[in-house]
């Protein structure tokens, strides 16, 4: 068996999620290749070559691949697909964008967001916002899979794979990239952060949300939010943790003013330690929290910052 892992990157840096996908590939077992499809992305390929367990990195470079357009990246993957039994993407915005295009063109089912590998054709995945876990088996000749990164510990560095250039696929020409607004932040990336501090509707306003900054600074945490807080405009869209937002599993998850709707719990309940601060003692978040503090967050958060 040979497995193709599609690297997640921005042409400059390899994203941490790729390490988790390689770990999932290692569980399946077989020769693991990583595809870096981008433009001027040689440094990314060099980094991917260092992931333990990877035997070869394929580098496809073209202006058409610079911005991760789904149509073009899918063509690139399809050009290489015949050599592989499994094609793995990270279940991130970009992986989820491209992967089903590849599966449909190969006329195979996609197995979305696997959280564990039982065998080369059988996987576990969460359904119904994590309220149930389905064990699914695929009889298709090629398994096209997206990997929920929180289900697999990142593969370590220490490999020395070869990097090979492959012919880039031609641009499909159906869509063009116009622009990107990426929030600049010194904080760790939400999806891979070791500590996450999230705020909910209880924060009350975007202004109040800022009281979480010193706490996040102190803990070296990424900031997150519940859907209610995002919908209310207290926090940006890409901070949303939950069933339809980001799935996180940090060492420490601090939920401030979050009641704990099942859709939110789906996104964070695999965190190692969960702390909840909420003034409502009956809030469902306390049902999953290791440490719950019933208190007014506007006094508890500053106090926490000074005590840590």
Of 25 and 92, which CB lies nearer to other proteins in the complex structure? 92
Paired tokens of 242: 């939950």
- Residue closer to other proteins, measured from CB, 31 or 140: 140
Residue 271 and residue 213 in contact, taking contact as beta carbons nearer than 8 Å: no
Judged by CB under 8 A, which of 4, 64, 84, 113 binds other proteins? 113
Q: Which of 105, 116, 232, 298 binds other proteins (CB under 8 A)?
A: 105
Shortest CB 89 distance to other proteins, Å: 11
Q: Interface mask (CB under 8 A) for other proteins, residues 169-198, using x and -?
A: ---xxxxxxxxxxxx-----x-x---x---
CA distance 63 to 76: 13
For other proteins, which residue of 20, 76, 110, 198 counts as binding (CB under 8 A)? Answer: 110
Which residue, 162 or 251, has its beta carbon nearer to other proteins? 251
Quote the crossing angle between the two packed helices 297-307 and 212-219, to the nearest 10°.
Answer: 30
Site for other proteins in 265-304 (CB under 8 A): 269, 272-275, 281, 286-295, 300, 303-304
CA dihedral angle for residue 36, residue 41, residue 44, residue 50, rounded to 10 degrees: 70
In the list 79, 136, 171, 211, the residue contacting other proteins (rule: CB under 8 A) is 136
Interatomic CA distance for residues 88 and 97, integer angstroms: 13
Question: How many residues of this chain interact with other proteins, rule: CB under 8 A?
Answer: 91
> Which three-class secondary structure string do you get for 217-268?
HHHCCEEEECHHHHHCCCCCHHHEECCCCECCCCCEEEEECCCCCHHHHHHH
Please pick, from the candidates 99, 142, 150, 198, the single residue that binds other proteins as defined by CB under 8 A. Answer: 99
Distance of closest approach, residue 25 Cβ to other proteins, in angstroms: 19
- Compute φ and ψ for 102, nearest 5 degrees: -65, -45
Residue with smaller CB distance to other proteins, 4 or 110: 110
- Give 187-215 as a DSSP string: SPPGGG-SEEEEE-GGG-SHHHHTTHHHH
φ, ψ for residue 71, nearest 5 deg: -60, -45
- Map the footprint of other proteins across residues 20-79, applying CB under 8 A: 69-71, 74
Residue 119 as a binder of other proteins (CB under 8 A): the answer is no
Tokens linked to 59: 């580098």
Binding mask 234-253 for other proteins (x = CB under 8 A): --xxx-x--xx-x----xx-
């Amino acid at each position: 068996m040979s497995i193709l892992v599609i690297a997640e990157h921005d042409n400059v840096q390899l994203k941490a999620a790729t390490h988790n996908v390689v770990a999932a590939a290692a569980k399946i077992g077989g020769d693991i290749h990583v595809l870096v499809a981008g433009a001027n992305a040689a440094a990314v390929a060099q980094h991917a070559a260092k992931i333990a367990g990877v035997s070869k990195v394929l580098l496809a470079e073209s202006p058409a691949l610079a911005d991760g357009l789904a149509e073009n990246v899918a063509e690139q993957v399809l050009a290489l697909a015949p050599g592989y039994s499994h094609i793995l993407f990270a279940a991130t915005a970009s992986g989820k964008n491209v992967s089903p295009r590849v599966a449909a063109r190969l006329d195979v089912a996609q197995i979305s967001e696997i959280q564990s590998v039982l065998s080369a054709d059988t996987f576990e995945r969460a359904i119904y916002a994590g309220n149930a876990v389905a064990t699914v088996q695929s009889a298709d000749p090629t398994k096209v899979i997206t990997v929920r990164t929180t289900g697999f510990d990142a593969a370590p560095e220490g490999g020395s794979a070869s990097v090979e250039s492959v012919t880039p696929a031609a641009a499909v020409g159906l869509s063009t990239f116009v622009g990107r607004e990426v929030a600049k932040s010194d904080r760790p990336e939400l999806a891979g952060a070791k500590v996450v501090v999230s705020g909910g509707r209880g924060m009350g306003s975007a202004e109040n949300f800022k009281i979480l900054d010193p706490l996040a600074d102190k803990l070296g945490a990424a900031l997150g939010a519940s859907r209610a807080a995002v919908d209310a405009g207290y926090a940006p869209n890409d901070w949303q943790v939950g069933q339809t937002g980001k799935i996180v599993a940090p060492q420490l998850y601090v939920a401030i003013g979050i009641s704990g709707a099942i859709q939110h719990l789906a996104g964070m309940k695999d965190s190692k330690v969960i702390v909840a601060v909420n003034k409502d003692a009956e809030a469902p978040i306390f049902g999953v929290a290791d440490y719950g503090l019933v208190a007014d967050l506007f006094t508890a958060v500053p106090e926490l910052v000074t005590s840590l």
